[in-house]
Amino acid sequence: DRLTEGNPESPLLIYVGRLGTEKRLRDLKDVLARLPDARLAIVGKGPDMPKLQAHFEGTNTMFTGLLQGVELSRAFAAADVFVMPSDSETLGFVVLESMASGVPVVGCDRGGIPSIIDHEQTGFLFEPGDTAQIAAHVEQLVNDKAFYAKMATNARAEAERWGWEAATTRLREEQYLQAVRNHRERQTDVRTLRQKLTRYREALFKGTLADLFAILGNRAAEREAEDLENEEWQLEGDIATLEKKPTTQQLFGWLSSRSTASLRLATILLFPWRFFTSLTRKIRRAVLGNDPTDAPAATDGA
């Protein structure tokens, strides 16, 4: 009775939210003019509240200020129709709250509202600023009790799809299972790449004789050995990407441009992988005579 100011038989429209210019609340004055028996409760606060109170002066409108908890639940329970004139809502939690309360919503067909409301099934949609449409939808709901009851039931069922229980069910039955499938596929990819990498390493090991011939001038054999090694590094890089680990190429990169395939193969085969970093400096000085990690010497005029 408080929201209808002692007129419980009058259709009660309700808006809940921020009182700002972007909410287009001024449009509702024309809706009231088209529905002389209806009353409007505006719940919330915001910078436009004084201007809106002046704008709705002389109409069947009540400003309640901010309501929370039980008071807000009672306001929803007392309402007949929730109106959302805003055309800039991203989701509209208050729309879901109203639907969960079994109060049909007449909302603007813009922003995130259309993703919640199925027109003429769980609520009504209207074009921005079309107050005639709003009034017509409200009249249909108020005058057709059977239709109103069906829409209220549909709205409540739709709101439940957005609830915590439904979200938890989707997380457990859909997203978690998909994560498990993705992990298994990823593990399969890693195993496949490792098997291929092993085959390439075996080929490289057998290719050391080809490298010896390459030293004597067999350039074709040398190129074949280099191609095998490059593929090995590429495969290892793919595995490292999947496992998010450093690649061997990062360790051996400087050798790829400063030595022959035979030197790279000898370095890889003669020394365990985990000791390579500490032995790099000795190999470099003994074979290449320079250190690619040394800072360049300063030059005059630099």
* Listed residues 92, 127, 162: the one ending a domain: 162
Same domain? 34 vs 150: yes
In the numeric block, which tokens belong to residue 188? Answer: 């399969």
Residue 245: domain span? 168-288
Shared domain for 195 and 238, answered yes or no, is: yes
In sign, the C-alpha dihedral spanning 71, 77, 80, 82 is positive
| CATH code: domain of residue 51 | 3.40.50.2000
For the ranges 129-143, 172-186, 233-247, the lowest mean pLDDT is seen at: 233-247
Q: Is residue 7 part of a domain?
A: no
Query: What does the pLDDT read at residue 23?
Result: 96
Given 101, 128, 162, the domain boundary residue is 162
Query: Is residue 98 one of the residues assigned to a domain?
Result: yes
Instruction: Dump pLDDT digits (tens) for 278-295.
Output: 444 444 444 444 444 444
Assigned domain for 296 exists = no
> What is the average per-residue pLDDT within 207-234?
53
- In tens, the pLDDT along 154-165 reads 999 988 887 666
Number of domains in the chain: 2
Predicted confidence at residue 53, as pLDDT, reads 97
Whole-model pTM: value is: 0.56
Pairing mode of beta strands 123-126, 105-108: parallel
Specify the pLDDT at position 249: 46
Whether residue 302 lies inside any domain: the answer is: no
